[in-house]
Structure 1
Amino acid sequence: MMFNGCSVRAPLWGAFSLVLAVAGCHHFDRATVWQFAKNNPTAPIMSLATLIAYNGLRTQRKIARVKNALDFQNNYLSSEISKKYIANAVQIANNKPAEELSVATLNDQDLLCIREVLNSFERMAIGIEIKVYDSKVLFRSYASTVLTVWKALRPYIRERQQSASYVYCHVDKLAADWMAKRGKKISRRDKAV
């Protein structure tokens, strides 16, 4: 994209050409730019400062996402109660046939474990989707746990989604994304060997 003869993709020229446009220069060449810079010494500095500030904001957002992901990891998924719930949910799913993983056949304690685990993964998936959490950090830490639990509890999830299609839909999307991502990593590793 061109703006007053300068590529907007080149960030410094794009910002500088925007300053020139605001200043009223409709057409310019190098001599005009040099003359403008001599007459308005703050314009190039403002352009550069704008770019630095923009880059700083992007970096700050990335740092905040990583921090939030680590906080989630430390506060919830590392707690003893959640570890117990996850272990119980996987054990329930592995020890019971798929037809017994329904709301009607599970006792209250089993339902509590399953709901607590799936709800926490749903919150994590929503946080990743709205870019509150860094997906890479949580993928490295919890991909195998999330995928194991999700696969084991799919009959329960499907039953719940029959009555309300939006239930655990974010976990489904996250699991599908992470399975595809894991498949790509495995195929790259196989090619390297």
Structure 2
Amino acid sequence: MELVLSFWGWLTELFGSKGFRGFLIMTGVVVAIASVISARNTARKKQTADLLFGTRSDEKLSDGYKCLQRLHNSDDANMRALTKEDKKNSEDANQIRYVLNHWERVFVGLRQGIYDEKMLREANYNTVIKTFNQARAYIEAVRELEQRPTYYQCLERAAKRWKRKPLAVLKK
């Protein structure tokens, strides 16, 4: 009985101490921080999934990819010419801008922490690399014409970064 009373006294003293209260408060703070980080990561992945599903049904984006492919593969097409005054509002120029502006907005959102880069990269690696490579002449012409090297810089930076580190082949 004396052992039980002694143990009870020790527990009462421990739970009543300032050190124990401080420990409980710190534990609560750590749990709260971990919860916020987890919720933020989950929200980022949900935003990315919404973006991925939304782009699948974007016909203008799909048409823009087809236009880029057609112009890139054409022997007589000049993408740089699409930046000139007489062609900058043509259907081809509008489609190219739509695709490039889409990806620029995505990568600005990525830089701001809205999207999850790993998910985007796994789902769009080839599309981004191919789009940037096919549109490079157009991008350079826009930058020269407007004298602004910042046009589509987030897209360019991401495409180059992703290209330096290709996707790994999944193991079976």
Does TM-score exceed 0.5, indicating one fold?
yes
The worse-fitting range, judged by mean Cα deviation, of 173-182 and 108-117 is 173-182
Q: What is the one-letter code of the residue matched to 1:44?
A: F
Q: What is the one-letter code of the residue matched to 1:165?
A: P
Mapped to 2, the partners of 1:37 and 1:97 lie a distance apart of 82
The TM-score, its normalising length taken from structure 2, stands at 0.78
In the alignment, is the contact (CA less than 8 A) between 2:60 and 2:98 conserved in 1? Answer: no
Mapped to 2, the partners of 1:97 and 1:61 lie a distance apart of 49
List gaps (5 residues or longer) in structure 1.
Answer: 1-34
Q: 2:160 aligns with which of 162, 176, 179?
A: 176
Percent identity between the two aligned chains = 22
Q: Which residue of 2 aligns with 1:27?
A: none
Provide Cα deviations, 1:9-64, integer angstroms capped at 9, x if missing partner.
xxxxxxxxxxxxxxxxxxxxxxxxxx886423432211111111111111111111
Mapped to 2, the partners of 1:134 and 1:117 lie a distance apart of 20
Mapped to 1, the partners of 2:75 and 2:28 lie a distance apart of 62
Q: 2:98 aligns with which of 112, 116, 124?
A: 116
- Between the two structures, name the one with larger relative contact order (CA 8 Å, sep ≥ 6): 2
The TM-score, its normalising length taken from structure 1, stands at 0.70
Q: Which residue of 1 aligns with 2:6?
A: none
Q: 1:83 aligns with which of 54, 58, 62?
A: 62
Local SS of the residue matching 1:153: helix
Provide Cα deviations, 1:72-96, integer angstroms capped at 9, x if missing partner.
1122354233212212222222215
List gaps (5 residues or longer) in structure 2.
Answer: 1-12
Provide Cα deviations, 1:84-139, integer angstroms capped at 9, x if missing partner.
221222222221557x1121275700001100000000001111111110001111
